[in-house]
Chains A and B, each alone.
Chain A
């Protein structure tokens, strides 16, 4: 149980989010920053959840961060680790920790983004120890 052999459900992009998923396919993790209030947010929206301005823009995140919290699912055919990771840009994202011994994952652990294919091949951002 060191990696994710779990089938990953397909995300369902829409016109508001297509950029995020296309970028993931090129190995890039995108977040949104609002030009009006200068706040980053995640998950990405067209209108800023902090001020409702429509002046949001895509920026590429560094792809590094640390584990805010996690849980190792034991009652599943394939054990897996769900987590919130705090990106260096300050926003937290729900994700999986992969390619590591799940019993050694800790809060505060430094992690970096990797991309894993969903059932239809869409690249999905996940994290592994940095």
Chain B
């Protein structure tokens, strides 16, 4: 069953905190839930579907459902890391299309900054019993060096340069200067990026996203409910999710699961990449953006370096404005999971509620794309295409 036009995003809220020393993790989930429901003009009594991922403390969704005092008749706690919340939009749209719920709440929250977590440079084992752990963790794979290996191979095969990757950070920082909540608001140059300290070759500090607390929530609703509310109508047109791994040892780090999700989501929407006025692209690292832009079809494989150069991702300057909130690179990467904020900024753009300095004129079609896990080993990507009605 196609979900094209079967559900709308009626509420979106991003928590303003970036370091939540004085708040608990469940409290952050509740605050973003309230924020998104208030934004939609709904109450927590209206919620009949709930979606969360591994950042939500408890057994799947159960503890948060109890804590929030909601009574959903549909629930889902699919966890694909940072892309979970894009997957949840797809699953919520499916559930609404099938009549299993009508008001779906999706929440994300985390406080890695308050907890002093070395997100990118300490090994993280999600589950000691995962079959790959014994064959990988002796070699100290951390987030940064795994993405760095994808960048190294892309440079080798396609001649991509550090300067080209730097343009992605330049675009994000140009947008972030207008976001009062952004963690890093200083505008940087290509020279600033390529002269920042090396973390793990070839990625430098400014190729990496921020570590921040916070969270966000979305409310996905049945079309009848969306039309009763006072908010601009943001219709879901197409969704797709896919997981990619090492293929039993035929590992290829030059592409991501977006190669599958992009064409499938565009096909469901009946649209093509060049129709998009704005794109939220997961930006754990600069290389993440470059690979996904290629895989989603915004340019040919191998041409990502040229595509992102010379300000092509800067709103008002280039052909594809991206991450106008500053993205994970500059604004926020709550719980080390950036998919939620990708959808939220796309919704702001479609509503015309982005900051005036970065708002894309007549933004009626937008894409949000997330990638969770590691592109260096195994990950899942998810794409959602939305239209302002």
Contact = CB atoms under 8 A, between A and B. Distances in A.
A79 to B, nearest CB: 9
Interface in A57-77: 68-76
A106 to B, nearest CB: 9
Given A42-B248, A94-B139, A107-B156, A71 B132 contact: no
Contact of A49 (B141, B144, B248): B248
A72 B248 contact: no
Interface in B185-204: 197-203
Contacts of A118: 138
B251 A68 contact: yes
A107 B201 contact: no
A94 to B, nearest CB: 5
B248 A94 contact: no
Contacts of B149: 69-71, 82-84
Interface in A78-98: 80, 82-84, 90-96
A67 to B, nearest CB: 10
Interface in B101-156: 121, 123, 128, 131-142, 144-146, 148-150, 152-153, 156
B246 interface: yes
B121 A84 contact: no
Contact of B131 (A39, A45, A73, A92): A45
B342 to A, nearest CB: 26
Contacts of A11: 134-135, 137-138
Interface string A45-57: 1001110000000
Tell me which of A39, A82, A93 has the highest count of chain B C-beta atoms within 10 A of its own C-beta: A82
A94 B377 contact: yes
A24 to B, nearest CB: 10
A38 to B, nearest CB: 13
B145 to A, nearest CB: 4
A92 B250 CA distance: 6
B123 to A, nearest CB: 7
B110 to A, nearest CB: 22
Contacts of A41: 248-249
A73 B203 CA distance: 10
Contacts of A50: 248
Nearest to B128: A12
B284 to A, nearest CB: 15
B199 A74 contact: yes
A90 B135 CA distance: 17
Contacts of B140: 6, 8-9, 73, 76, 80, 82, 96
A75 B248 contact: no
A95 B146 CA distance: 11
B165 interface: no
B159 to A, nearest CB: 13
Contacts of B206: none
A40 interface: yes
B53 interface: no
A6 to B, nearest CB: 7
Given A92-B250, A96-B139, A9 B123 contact: yes
Contacts of B148: 71
Contacts of A72: 200-201
A21 B134 CA distance: 10
Contacts of A8: 138, 140
B153 A107 contact: yes
A11 B277 CA distance: 48
B293 interface: no
B171 interface: no
A92 B144 CA distance: 20
Contacts of B365: none
Contacts of A76: 121, 140
Nearest to B120: A75
B138 A73 contact: no
Interface string B32-76: 000000000000000000000000000000000000000000000
19 contacts: A13-B134, A21-B134, A40-B249, A41-B248, A43-B246, A43-B249, A45-B131, A50-B248, A72-B201, A73-B140, A73-B144, A74-B201, A75-B144, A75-B199, A84-B149, A90-B249, A90-B250, A92-B250, A124-B139
Interface of A: 6, 8-14, 17, 21, 31, 39-45, 48-50, 68-76, 80, 82-84, 90-96, 107, 118, 124, 126
User: Would you list the 7 A-B pairs with minimal beta carbon distance, nearest first?
Assistant: A91-B249, A71-B148, A41-B248, A42-B249, A49-B248, A43-B135, A69-B153
Given A43-B249, A75-B198, 9 more contacts: A11-B134, A11-B135, A11-B138, A12-B133, A43-B131, A44-B135, A69-B156, A73-B142, A82-B149
